[in-house]
Amino acid sequence: MTPPTKEDLIALAKAAAIRHMLAAPLVCAVVEQESGWNAWAVRYEPAFRVRYVAPLHLPPTLEVCCSISWGLMQLMGQCAIEDGYPGKIPALCDPATGLEWGCVHLVKKISEARGDPHRGLELWNGGGNKDYADQVFARVPRYQ
């Protein structure tokens, strides 16, 4: 099987955005910011583990999986579970799966921000990068 091209991934991202009533250029900008369009991107987040996952007293393997950001949108494993994701966490690296559940989580964060996408992105990022939302919005014009 041939791996998807960047153009294929952009089309998947735009379709997922539309299904979730998100601005397609915004979702594409999040993907570019988070993974640079690398569907296999994974990143262990030790501060997230300490703050959010360790208090749950999960089995060790699950604790680590929940403390990793996965795939195109770099969705945290624990966030996916809290949002109702029923699958195996590493499957978030599958482009369609990761985009679907990343959009679910982004909608949740924008909703928590009372519909403000800028504030929603700050909630998505968790405050580790005070310029995160501005950096994402700077990428939006590339996908309009």
pLDDT in tens, 20-35: 999 999 999 999 999 9
Q: Is residue 104 part of a domain?
A: yes
Q: How many structural domains does the chain have?
A: 1
Q: Determine the 3-state secondary structure of 111 from DSSP.
A: helix
Q: Is residue 119 part of a domain?
A: yes
Judge whether residue 94 has pLDDT over 90. yes
For residue 60, the model assigns a pLDDT of: 96
CATH number at residue 91: 1.10.530.10
Model-level pTM greater than 0.75?
yes
Distance between CA atoms of residues 52 and 78, nearest Å: 8
Q: Is residue 1 part of a domain?
A: no
Residue 109's domain spans which residues? 6-143
Q: Is residue 81 part of a domain?
A: yes
For residue 1, the model assigns a pLDDT of: 80
Distance between CA atoms of residues 127 and 72, nearest Å: 20
HSE-up (13 A, CA, CB side) for residue 114: 0
Q: Is residue 101 part of a domain?
A: yes
How far is C-alpha 63 from the geometric centre of its chain's CA atoms? 18
Q: Tens of pLDDT along 46-80?
A: 999 999 999 999 999 999 999 999 999 999 999 99
For residue 117, the model assigns a pLDDT of: 97
Residue 83 binned pLDDT confidence (cut-offs 50, 70, 90): very high
Judge whether residue 127 has pLDDT over 80. no
Distance between CA atoms of residues 130 and 53, nearest Å: 23
Calculate the average pLDDT of the chain.
96
